[in-house]
Structure 1
Amino acid sequence: MSESGYPDLLKRISDATEKAVRNAEIYLPDDVKARLTEALKVESVVVAKQELQNILENICLAEERFAPLCQDTGIPVMYITVPYGMTWTPEMEQAVLTGIQNATQHIPLRPNLVDPVSRENTKTNTGLSMPPVHVKHGDRFTITALPKGAGSENVSRIRMMNPSDKGNIPKFVVETMLEAGGRPCPPVILGVGIGGTFDVAASLAKEALLEPVDSMTGYEQEICDQVNQLGIGPMGLGGDTTCLAVKIKTAGCHTASLPVAVNIQCWAARRATVEVPL
């Protein structure tokens, strides 16, 4: 790309970022809405059915009013796919941050990002080495926003298991949700990362939340069924539907290690992708 066209590209990156964040905050993905609608049809507990109806009404109101789905608009975790042959630059990353800052002001978003010790608020949802921007190469230039609220993030867990404990992975996932109870605003989606290293497992669990929830493998379905047997139910008030889906991502790990991470996502499983025109 010519130097003269570079500023225009940076503006398109910023605008695409703002749009991705806006779409994620306001419009729940169709596959998630379908799972919630299906849960309402099969739910047998009266209070749980009412909570699911409230959730679906909330989704409709957000779309009608162009308002965020939840007052906790989270921290926008960003996933960038850059076309092969294109170099990701510090200026491009700054354009993404500018898009987040614009979204914070225009949507608007609640300013959630604070210093971990002083608790001083940046008021832009950027700064302090946050939000994380994950970059990989692919066929298209896309920007994906995954707003992550604190209620579900706070009850996520990671465990360095022994390889001999691999059969206990489902138990660890179920126990994680049992301990979380109603705090992550169920029905939830559970992202599970298995393998890699301590940090890789956590990243895999987060990335798993980007996967469509309209299908599961047999292993994922088995864990999902076990979680639903807990009876926590929508918003923790009891019911058949505690978990909408379990999504698992794996990576190779050391022969003496088995990291397992569970990243819990609330019913407002927000994600949106926007393509940057080139």
Structure 2
Amino acid sequence: MIKSADPSLMKAVSLSTCRAFLEAEIRLPGDIRRAISAARDAETDTIARGELQNILTNIDRAEEMKLPICQDTGVPVVYITLPPEIPLDQGLYDAVAEGVRQATAAVPMRPNVVTPLGRENSRDNTGAGMPAIHVRPGSRFTITVLPKGAGAENMSRIAMLLPSHKDRIARFVVETMLIAGGKPCPPVVLGVGIGSTFDGVAALAKEALLEPVDTMSGFERELCDAVNELGIGPMGLGGKTTCLAVKVKTAGCHTASLPVAVNVQCWACRRATVEVVL
């Protein structure tokens, strides 16, 4: 067991967190870029095709110039897999927060984190409950980041359906995007959580956004096709592709409830994983 006070451990965690945000903010994952390219090639509407090409050009310029893909660099959401020999204590959380501070200066990331009522800005994207850190056991020590912008996050929804309302899940997903319209900068990726508890289903929906979009199950494809039937299109200007992919995560739930959550993610579905080397 490594001691929690080990300064080399804390430094490695901070550096890995910073590296992950540098990667996520500047380079879009390959599966997302391929999905956008495929949508552009399939688009017949001139304006929609042009918008998708603009997005792809933006992605290329960000990587070439080593600048953030989007001006809204999001709030820091972090997922950690922790081997048994690494202690889970406050030191780990503090080290991740320090990595966020470093990334805020290095990327640079826009200082987005404020107190909810007074709206005081910490200027370094940390604060009470921020970064949002999720830890689970694993064989490898990894840090995965999911910078989450507000335009899409604000359009996310949750519903506590009844077990007899299983056939309403698809309607809830499509309705969520209908209400959102062009506000979340489509084409979107929709993370859908089904089951668990009120808070747990929201976590499932966000975790679903970490899954690759290259493949979808039959159910996920049905949901995606139904959303695309809305015709909202790229940036809300109409077209074939409103949704690049739907990813679903499920968990057990109470026999008397059916929680459903939709976490809306804009086309800039940023994520990156770095292994912590000790």
TM over 0.5: yes
TM-score (norm 1): 0.98
> Partner of 2:246 in structure 1?
246
Aligned to 2:213: 213
Does residue 263 of the first structure (1) align with residue 263 of the second (2)? yes
Q: Distance in 2 between matches of 1:176 and 1:102?
A: 36
Paired residue type of 1:74: G
- The equivalent of 2:96 in structure 1 is 96
Return the offset for 1:131: 1.9
Letter in 1 for 2:149: G
| Residue 39 of structure 1: how far off its partner (Å) | 0.5
Instruction: State the one-letter code of the partner of 1:114.
Output: V
Rounded Cα–Cα distance in structure 2 between residues aligned with 1:5 and 1:202: 33
Q: Specify the SS of the correspondent of 2:250.
A: strand
Q: Give the Cα separation in 1 of the matches to 2:4 and 2:190.
A: 45
Give the aligned partner of residue 47 of structure 1.
Answer: 47
What amino acid sits opposite 1:205 in the alignment?
A
Measure how far apart 1:5 and its partner are: 8.6
Q: Which residues of 2 match residues 94-133 of structure 1 at below 5 A? A: 94-133=94-133
Stretches of structure 2 that go unaligned for 5 or more consecutive residues are none
- Name the CA distance, whole Å, in 1 between partners of 2:25 and 2:127: 20
Give SS of 2:147's match. strand
Who is 1:31 aligned against? 31
Q: What letter matches 2:186 in structure 1? A: P
Q: For residue 171 of structure 2, what is the amino acid of its counterpart?
A: K
SS in 2 for 1:9: helix
AA of the residue aligned to 1:143: I
Report the number of matched residues: 278
What amino acid maps onto 1:166 in structure 2?
A: K
Pairing 1:126-275 to 2, within 5 Å after superposition: 126-275=126-275
How far apart, CA to CA, are the structure 1 residues paired with 2:138 and 2:230?
40
Q: Match for 1:39: what amino acid?
A: A
* Contact 2:195–2:201 (Cα < 8 Å) also in 1: yes
1:195 counterpart SS class:
strand
**Matches of 1:211 and 1:169, distance apart in 2:** 20
Change (3 A) 1:192 1:4: closer
Question: Aligned with 1:201: secondary structure?
Answer: helix
Q: Please, what TM-score do these two structures have when normalized by structure 2?
A: 0.98
What is the identity, as a one-letter code, of the residue corresponding to 1:80? I
Q: Give the Cα separation in 2 of the matches to 1:41 and 1:77.
A: 32
* In 1, Cα distance between equivalents of 2:237 and 2:12: 45
Q: Secondary structure at the match of 2:6?
A: helix
SS of residue matched to 1:78: strand
- How far, CA to CA, are the matches of 1:201 and 1:28 in structure 2? 26
Listed as ranges, the gaps of 5+ residues in structure 1 are none
CA deviation profile, 1:226-247 (whole Å, cap 9, x unmatched): 0001000000000000000000
Secondary structure at 1:71's aligned position in 2? coil
TM-superposition CA deviations, 1:52-82 (whole Å, max 9, x none): 0000000000000000000000001000001
Partner residue in 1 for 2:83? 83
Deviation of the 1:86 alpha carbon: 2.8
1:72 aligned partner, one-letter code? D
Return closer, same or farther for 1:179/1:228 CA change in 2, 3 Å cut-off.
same
The Cα of 1:87 is off from its aligned counterpart by 2.2
Q: Would the aligned equivalents of 2:4 and 2:91 in 1 still touch at CA under 8 Å?
A: no
Greater than 3 Å deviation, 4+ residue runs: 1-5
Structure 1 residue 3, shift from structure 2 partner: 5.0
User: Could you report, residue by residue, the CA deviation over 1:77-125 in whole angstroms, capped at 9, with x for unpaired residues?
Assistant: 0000011343212111100000000100111110000111011111110
